[in-house]
């Protein structure tokens, strides 16, 4: 194994999904020499499988720290879209059309009541909607509705276009994307020295671990319990609904005027990211239950991706105790698109020594070390 002695990067980022690419961009903007190691095409994994929902609202299942992270990141979105447009001259499709969360049975009602109460208390805009109002807002929905809440501030973004725009911005600002599989991180005497790839050791002052579902598979790293959770989704022709609609089992997301996406399964099947008939049956049945006309829509295609999940379903962001110049930016599970802007901001703060805009303690990777 040879060692690349001339350090040609201040920072090595492992993974060019939306998280790694966004971290790389912010670090390159800070004047650092950044190399991103990506073993396949940038943005080709979970970041392109996502459906692009930006749910600004707090979820009753989220901790207070996670709610703050979500709200903070969501608020960064409009400026991010503007910044990328100024940069490239092209505007990533971002639709702040709100999201309707519906109860399809009586037993779904307490959940949406709780969500309404919790979000009101948090200062998030939320309105109760009767089944009659729901049908006026969304004529394509089933008449079998028990109630709903509307989050007018929720948004949708074209996550594939966004990820590619961020990758290009990172490159324009000097970041270098290297097609290579990182086999291991080398840690010596409490410091990360570099990464092993293709028989070489590449050195850097900082290593950012942003390898999504594969983060825990890289040799030499401290405990990183990230596991893949498969999500299968599909698209049909036509705009069946006007805005994103969420039920307890599924969600519908319009993409432009010509498509409706239906998501998504939540499956523990290891690193298998194939589509299955059973998975697609589950997703289509749930979609048809919400908006029956979808059943007649032309099938456009299906896809699957692996969400990177931690045991407490919160991301790992920040330095490892065992090597403080190795920084985690992984485990974003169902919210990686939404949380990319805040993650990049926090990682940049750690590397440049600025004060982080939010308390990192609940997200530090050390919480899984004991
Ligand atoms: C069906 C589905 C729907 C979703 N919907 C939403 C949504 O609506 N809103 C939302 O916010 N989130 C959503 N998500 C979650 C979101 O997609 C993820 O949280 C996010 O994409 C994670 O980004 P990432 O960069 O960490 O991972 P990835 O995009 O998976 O990127 C990781 C990258 O690391 C690379 N890599 C891995 N190991 C190595 C290695 N050893 N060496 C070099 N490179 C390596 C991989 O090739 C990959 O490109 C959804 C996910 C799925 C699957």
> Distance between CA atoms of 360 and 317, rounded to whole angstroms?
7
Nearest atom in ligand 1 to 215's CA? 38
| CB distance 197 to 15 below 8 Å | no
DSSP 263-304: E---B-BTB-----HHHHHHHHHHHHHHSGGGGGSPEEEEEE
Ranges 1-10, 33-42, 163-172, 242-251: which has the least confidence: 1-10
Q: Which residues line ligand 1 (CB under 6 A)?
A: 14-20, 37-40, 44-47, 49-53, 181-182, 210-214, 218, 231, 233, 263-264, 305, 307-308, 330, 332-338
Angle formed at CA 159 by CA 154 and CA 163, multiple of 5 degrees: 130
> Distance between CA atoms of 309 and 311, rounded to whole angstroms?
7
Q: pLDDT digits over 227-264, tens only?
A: 999 999 999 999 999 999 999 989 999 998 899 999 99
Angle formed at CA 255 by CA 78 and CA 284, multiple of 5 degrees: 130
Helices (H) and strands (E) in the chain, counts: 8, 21
What's the sign of the alpha-carbon dihedral 284, 285, 286, 290? positive
Report how far ligand 1's centroid is from the alpha carbon of 92 (Å). 19
Q: Which residues pair with 309 in a beta bridge?
A: 227
| CB distance 194 to 207 below 8 Å | yes
What's the sign of the alpha-carbon dihedral 300, 148, 122, 151? positive
Angle formed at CA 313 by CA 51 and CA 234, multiple of 5 degrees: 20
Report how far ligand 1's centroid is from the alpha carbon of 5 (Å). 32
Retrieve residue 40's tokens: 């396949």
* Average of per-residue pLDDT values in the chain: 95
Res 5: pLDDT? 46
Res 79: pLDDT? 98
Q: Best substitution site from 12, 287, 314, 334 to test ligand 1's pocket, by max atoms within 8 Å of Cβ?
A: 334
Q: pLDDT digits over 141-160, tens only?
A: 999 999 999 999 999 999 99
> Distance between CA atoms of 132 and 123, rounded to whole angstroms?
26
- What is the bridge-based pairing of β-strands 176-179 and 155-157? unpaired
Spatial CA neighbour of 347 closest among 73, 41, 92: 73
Nearest atom in ligand 1 to 47's CA? 21
Q: Best substitution site from 336, 339, 342, 365 to test ligand 1's pocket, by max atoms within 8 Å of Cβ?
A: 336
Mean pLDDT of the region 40-62:
90
Band of the pLDDT at 369, cuts 50, 70, 90?
confident
Q: Best substitution site from 41, 45, 70, 93 to test ligand 1's pocket, by max atoms within 8 Å of Cβ?
A: 45
Domains, the chain, ranges and CATH?
8-49+160-225+312-368 (3.50.50.60), 99-147 (no CATH), 227-309 (3.30.9.10)
Nearest atom in ligand 1 to 52's CA? 8
């Amino acid at each position: 194994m040879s060692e690349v002695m001339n350090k040609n990067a201040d920072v090595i980022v492992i993974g060019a999904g939306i998280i790694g690419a966004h971290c790389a961009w912010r670090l390159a903007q800070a004047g650092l020499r950044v190399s991103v190691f990506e073993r396949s095409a940038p943005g080709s994994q979970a970041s392109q499988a996502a459906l692009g929902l930006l749910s600004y609202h707090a979820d009753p299942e989220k901790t207070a720290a996670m709610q703050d992270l979500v709200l903070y990141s969501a608020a960064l979105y409009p400026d991010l879209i503007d910044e990328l447009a100024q940069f490239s001259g092209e505007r990533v499709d971002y639709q702040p059309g709100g999201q309707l969360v519906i109860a399809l049975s009586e037993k779904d009602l307490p959940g949406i009541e709780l969500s309404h109460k919790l979000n009101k208390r948090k200062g998030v805009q939320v309105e109760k909607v009767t089944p009659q109002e729901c049908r006026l807002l969304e004529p394509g929905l089933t008449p079998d509705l028990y109630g709903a809440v509307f989050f007018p501030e929720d948004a949708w973004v074209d996550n594939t276009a966004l990820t590619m725009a961020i990758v290009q911005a990172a490159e324009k600002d000097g970041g270098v994307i290297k097609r290579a599989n990182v086999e291991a991180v080398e840690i010596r005497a409490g410091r990360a020295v570099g990464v092993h790839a293709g028989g070489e050791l590449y050195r850097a002052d900082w290593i950012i671990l942003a390898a999504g579902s594969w983060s825990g598979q890289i040799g030499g790293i401290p405990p990183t319990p990230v596991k893949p959770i498969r999500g299968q989704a599909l698209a049909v022709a036509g705009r069946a609904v006007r805005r994103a609609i969420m039920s307890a089992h599924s969600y519908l997301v319009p993409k432009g005027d010509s498509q409706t996406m239906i998501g998504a399964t939540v499956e523990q099947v290891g690193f298998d990211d194939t589509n299955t008939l059973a998975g697609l049956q589950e997703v289509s049945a749930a979609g048809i239950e919400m908006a029956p006309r979808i059943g007649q829509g032309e099938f456009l295609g299906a896809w699957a991706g692996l969400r990177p999940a931690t045991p407490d379903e919160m991301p790992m962001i920040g330095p490892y105790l065992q090597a403080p110049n190795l920084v985690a930016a992984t485990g974003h599970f169902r919210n990686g698109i939404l949380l990319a802007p805040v993650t990049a901001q926090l990682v940049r703060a750690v590397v440049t020594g600025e004060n982080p805009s939010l308390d990192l303690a609940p997200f530090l990777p050390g919480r899984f070390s004991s």
